[in-house]
Amino acid sequence: MTAVAPVPRLIEQFEHGLDAPICLTWELTYACNLSCVHCLSSSGKRDPRELSTRECKDIIDELERMQVFYVNIGGGEPTVRSDFWELVDYATEHHVGVKFSTNGVRIDEAVAAKLAASDYVDVQISLDGATAEINDAVRGPGSFAMAIRALENLKNAGFKDAKISVVVTRQNVDQLDDFKALADNYGATLRITRLRPSGRGADVWDDLHPTAEQQVQLYNWLVAHGEGVLTGDSFFHLSGLGEPGALAGLNLCGAGRVVCLIDPVGDVYACPFAIHERFLAGNILSDNGFQNVWQNAPLFLELREPQSAGACGSCGHYDSCRGGCMAAKFFTGLPLDGPDPECVQGFGEPALAQDRDKPKSHLDHSRSGGRKGPVPLKLLAMPAKAPQKFCNESPV
Amino acid sequence: MLHPQVAVRPEPFGALLYHFGTRKLSFLKNRTIVEVVNSLPDHPDVRSACRAAGIDDDQLAPYLHAFGVLVTSKMLVAKENQ
């Protein structure tokens, strides 16, 4: 970071929002071969309204004009879109860098070689256990082997610095050193992020989220290994555990201020963990483009106003954690101007113990019948079902 | 001068720099330093670029420090390397 003459703190500038996001998450499809129990976007089946290749390229053109430097592409499993590589190439040719998240299903030797030849594509392989046993309990049978095969292909092809992306859970928090060793073994960088109660994650959060003791363990591990490990700045709710600045990164909720989510049908949400009507800012197709939504959506203007500290106002740690994660509070049924459910001062626990109404998303693309292991996807034929079957409207 | 893989995005507070090679982001935290960065190719060195932007010698230290950081992170490279 470049420090010069005194100006308002950068964090304050960010709270007022930027003219364009620094980066954004773009979920290209709700289709997925896996059925992870904590899926943020409740993915499984493709949505019939997903953006066409042309519509995606138009969005990339707009991102280039706005100088959005890179997009984090995810899903669903983005690589199952038949135009996935075409879109990746189009983005990088138009000065929009690509980082994509995958479970590895399509990263065979040929794809790994192609990726190794590109300078502007980053690959992130999702893995939620350093052993098959712990990983597959969350991500499904065979998913550990699939991810490892992808990492091997990338390494053998000479791809530099893949990312291994781990959602920290009660079951894998003791494996952080093992994940680091695994990453080192593949010449990869470890990225660990916070479990959010979003999407299907709402159903498993109570059982999977790290205990208060484990939060401290995680914090200490992060402070010790912070420089070599990526976090997507997702653990800012832990920053009250130590000195300000001990935790690397920007400790601020960037939702609608410096980040956002574009979903597979062109809906724009405040952040990737907030697929709910409450955080829906608009639609790129029907609201005159992404720039218009980013700069003028009433929701985003509201999020860029000073936020009330509410019940956290009297807490001495508010400056560190800023009340924590909006999505984590919302989907656990806690007030947005109160403590984070995993508040490190313990203020979340009594709130969680009370009667709560957990808001359900209006979207659920989960396959019916639950998980039976990896599903071979055939995306060319559209299911002969009425479209409304894809979107289970919740009455809540 | 700026590394050819670095993009500059103007912002109300100054500018964002993004290096497509290293994937690093930097912040230019005021408009004066943005002006200096953009004018670097027209000057033999950083000092004269700063002077041309109206930065007095007694204000120079934080700017020189900032440019040192940008050189270390490869955001800035010497012209003869190009």
Helix/strand number for chain A, H first, E second: 14, 9
How far is residue A347's CA from residue A339's CA, in Å, rounded to a whole number?
Answer: 6
Q: How many CA atoms lie within 13 A of B67 on its CB side?
A: 21
How far is residue B82's CA from residue B76's CA, in Å, rounded to a whole number?
Answer: 11
Residue A261's CB: how many other CB atoms inside 10 A? Answer: 27
Q: Which tokens hold the place of A126?
A: 């999702």
Contact A79, A105 (CB under 8 A): yes
The pLDDT, as a whole number, for residue A369 is 65
Edge to edge, the sheet with strand B24-28 lists B6-11, B14-19, B24-28
Residue A182: is it exposed, middle or buried by C-beta count within 10 angstroms (0-12/13-18/19+)? buried
The pLDDT, as a whole number, for residue A168 is 98
Digit-coded pLDDT (tens) for A127-147 = 999 999 999 999 999 999 999
The pLDDT, as a whole number, for residue A308 is 83
Q: Do A13 and B11 touch (CB under 8 A)?
A: yes
**Stated pTM of the model:** 0.88
Residues of chain A with pLDDT under 70: 1-9, 244, 248-251, 369-396
The pLDDT, as a whole number, for residue A5 is 44
The alpha-carbon gap from A177 to the nearest alpha carbon of chain B, in Å, equals 25
Whether the CA torsion A291, A295, A300, A304 is positive or negative: it is positive
Residue A295: is it exposed, middle or buried by C-beta count within 10 angstroms (0-12/13-18/19+)? middle
Please state, in angstroms and as integers, the Cα–Cα distance from residue A355 to each residue in A209, A334, A362, following that order.
19, 10, 22
Chain A contact present for B24, CB below 8 A:
no
Instruction: State the DSSP H helix or E strand holding residue A181, giving kind and residue range, or none if neither.
Output: helix A176-185
The pLDDT, as a whole number, for residue A389 is 33
Digit-coded pLDDT (tens) for A340-360 = 999 999 999 998 998 888 888
The alpha-carbon gap from B45 to the nearest alpha carbon of chain A, in Å, equals 18
The pLDDT, as a whole number, for residue A250 is 65
The pLDDT, as a whole number, for residue A249 is 65
Those residues with Cβ within 8 angstroms of residue A88's Cβ, 6 or more apart along the chain or in another chain? A73, A98, A100, A121
How far is residue B28's CA from residue B8's CA, in Å, rounded to a whole number?
Answer: 9
Q: Using a CB-CB distance cutoff of 8 angstroms, which residues of chain B are in contact with residue A2?
A: 26-29, 33, 66, 69-70
How far is residue A270's CA from residue A276's CA, in Å, rounded to a whole number?
Answer: 10
Contact A349, A212 (CB under 8 A): yes
Q: Do B13 and A7 touch (CB under 8 A)?
A: yes
- A334: nearest Cα among A345, A323, A320, A322: A323
Digit-coded pLDDT (tens) for A250-279 = 667 889 998 999 999 999 999 999 999 999
Q: Using a CB-CB distance cutoff of 8 angstroms, which residues of chain B are in contact with residue A123?
A: none
Q: Using a CB-CB distance cutoff of 8 angstroms, which residues of chain A are in contact with residue B23?
A: 70, 97, 122
How far is residue B76's CA from residue A224's CA, in Å, rounded to a whole number?
Answer: 31
Those residues with Cβ within 8 angstroms of residue A384's Cβ, 6 or more apart along the chain or in another chain? none
Q: Looking up tokens 């009455």, which residue turns up?
A: A395
The pLDDT, as a whole number, for residue B82 is 45
- A262: nearest Cα among A60, A54, A36: A60
How far is residue A98's CA from residue A92's CA, in Å, rounded to a whole number?
Answer: 7
Q: What is the DSSP string of A66-93?
A: TT--EEEEESS-GGGSTTHHHHHHHHHH
Q: Which tokens hold the place of A326?
A: 């909006």
How far is residue A8's CA from residue A16's CA, in Å, rounded to a whole number?
Answer: 12
Could you tell me which chain B residue has the CA closest to the CA of A69? B18
Q: What number is the ipTM of this complex? A: 0.87
Q: Do A13 and B16 touch (CB under 8 A)?
A: no
Contact A97, B46 (CB under 8 A): no
